[in-house]
């Protein structure tokens, strides 16, 4: 484990290669190895989420890198050359048209038409699109030819550089990109935290239901058994980041409610736990199922642990089954405790009668 903490990339990859020889490059095997076989206590105050990222990205398939969006793609050199050739063809066509117009004007026998067209003819002759080739000297022709040769050589060099760059891009695959990302994560702890929070939920969504249940059980044991690892570590603490990434996974039913309670109480993940429970409870406000009632109880316990009495009362006012419950909660919030207890007893008696009469 000390070798995995090395800041030198070459030495660190040697120790990672030893782990790669033991563990299959599959997501399931890698996650189980992280949760069960590694003793993270030996890492000390090191932010070992960096090592988790390095172990997981090895399972990625070798594919070519593609741009996620076409918005930032630049046009190739060949397209620019084709565009310039099209402009040249268009200008040459305009010259031919103007030359034909001048030839038709010289064939006109009528003086009036010739006089009327004199101004037009003069403008056409003076325009840059029409010129007399006989007036061009040999030196100018040689200069134009020399410029054309230099331009063709320059274009050829650009095409050669473009082809070499394209071949270089084709040789770059995901492994090189991920290796660079891992090296950056080892240099920057906030970056490693962000990458793990974004990566782990996406990995979880790829797993099938059986793998989620298996890894979920190991994950709960991992968080419970290693709760002492973060006591002497300055934030961000790796175990808290690991729990935060797990709470971001969906569906919520992949983990038991005890995990959300434990993450809030022992790992100080109250905010994320309550957000997940609230989203689950408020998805179907008009229809409360048994699973929703269990999440409501867990959310009530979380509010009580944080001493958020206003949130707890507001939730029961919104999801109370009997009118007496809602009225009792309102009276309790205002300080009328005897009246509130009276309505609570009525609600309990109604619940008992409904339970006895139910089949």
Q: What is the pLDDT of residue 188?
A: 92
What is the rounded distance in angstroms from the CA atom of residue 194 to the CA atom of residue 177?
A: 17
What is the rounded distance in angstroms from the CA atom of residue 47 to the CA atom of residue 236?
A: 8
Q: In the structure encoding, which two tokens stand for residue 58, read together?
A: 């090895």
What is the rounded distance in angstroms from the CA atom of residue 96 to the CA atom of residue 203?
A: 65
Q: How far apart are the first and last CA of the chain?
A: 60
What is the rounded distance in angstroms from the CA atom of residue 331 to the CA atom of residue 323?
A: 12
Q: What is the pLDDT of residue 151?
A: 78
Dihedral angle, C-alpha 265, 267, 270, 272, nearest 10 °? -140
Instruction: Match 């006012």 to its residue by tokens.
Output: 317
Q: Domain residue spans in the chain?
A: 322-358
Residue 322 CB-density burial (10 A; 0-12 exposed, 13-18 middle, 19+ buried)? middle
Please report which helix (H) or strand (E) contains residue 238, including its range.
helix 238-247
Q: What is the pLDDT of residue 111?
A: 47
CB of 273 within 8 A of CB of 264?
Answer: yes
Q: How many CA atoms lie within 13 A of 321 on its CB side?
A: 12
Q: What is the pLDDT of residue 245?
A: 92
Residues of the chain falling short of pLDDT 50: 107-111, 114, 117-118, 120-134, 287
Strand partners, 64: 173
What is the rounded distance in angstroms from the CA atom of residue 161 to the CA atom of residue 126?
A: 41
| DSSP structure class, residue 43 | G
Of residues 9, 57, 8, the one with CA closest to residue 31: 57
Please report which helix (H) or strand (E) contains residue 83, including its range.
helix 77-106
Strand partners, 252: none
Task: Tell me the angle at which helices 189-206 and 49-57 cross, rounded to the nearest 10 degrees.
Answer: 50
What is the rounded distance in angstroms from the CA atom of residue 119 to the CA atom of residue 116?
A: 7
Q: What is the pLDDT of residue 229?
A: 61
Range list of H helices, 282-336: 290-305, 309-319, 323-334
Q: What is the pLDDT of residue 332?
A: 85
Dihedral angle, C-alpha 25, 26, 29, 35, nearest 10 °? 90
Q: What one-character-per-residue DSSP string does 172-184 give? A: -BHHHHHHHHHHH
Dihedral angle, C-alpha 275, 278, 280, 283, nearest 10 °? -120
Q: What is the pLDDT of residue 114?
A: 46
């Amino acid at each position: 484990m000390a070798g995995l903490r090395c800041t030198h990339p070459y030495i660190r990859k040697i120790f990672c290669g030893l782990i790669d020889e033991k563990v299959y490059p599959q997501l399931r095997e890698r996650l189980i190895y992280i949760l069960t076989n590694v003793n993270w206590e030996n890492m000390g105050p090191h932010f070992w989420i960096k090592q988790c990222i390095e172990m997981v990205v090895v399972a990625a398939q070798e594919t070519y890198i593609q741009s996620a969006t076409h918005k930032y793609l630049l046009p190739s050199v060949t397209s620019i050359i084709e565009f310039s050739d099209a402009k040249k063809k268009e200008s040459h066509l305009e010259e031919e048209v103007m030359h034909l117009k001048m030839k038709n004007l010289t064939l006109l026998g009528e003086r009036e038409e010739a006089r009327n067209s004199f101004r037009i003819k003069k403008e056409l002759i003076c325009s840059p699109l029409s010129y007399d080739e006989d007036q061009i000297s040999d030196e100018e022709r040689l200069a134009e030819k020399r410029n054309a040769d230099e331009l063709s050589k320059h274009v050829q060099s650009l095409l050669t550089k473009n082809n070499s760059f394209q071949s270089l891009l084709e040789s770059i695959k995901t492994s090189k990109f991920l290796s660079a990302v891992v090296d950056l994560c080892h240099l920057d702890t906030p970056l490693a935290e962000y990458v793990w929070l974004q990566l782990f939920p996406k990995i979880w969504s790829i797993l099938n239901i059986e793998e989620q249940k298996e890894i979920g059980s190991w994950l709960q044991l991992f968080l419970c058994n290693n709760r002492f690892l973060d006591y002497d570590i300055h934030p961000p603490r790796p175990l808290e980041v690991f729990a935060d990434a797990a709470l971001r996974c969906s569906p919520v039913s992949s983990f038991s409610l005890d995990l959300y309670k434990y993450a809030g109480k022992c790992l100080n993940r109250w905010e994320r736990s309550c957000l997940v429970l609230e989203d689950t409870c408020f998805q179907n406000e008009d229809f409360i199922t048994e699973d929703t009632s269990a999440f409501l109880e867990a959310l009530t316990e979380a509010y009580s642990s944080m001493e958020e009495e206003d949130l707890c009362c507001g939730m029961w006012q919104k999801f109370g089954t009997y009118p007496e419950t809602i009225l009792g909660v309102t009276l309790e919030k205002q300080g009328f405790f005897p009246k509130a207890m009276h309505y609570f007893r009525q609600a309990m008696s109604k619940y008992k009668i409904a339970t006895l009469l139910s089949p």
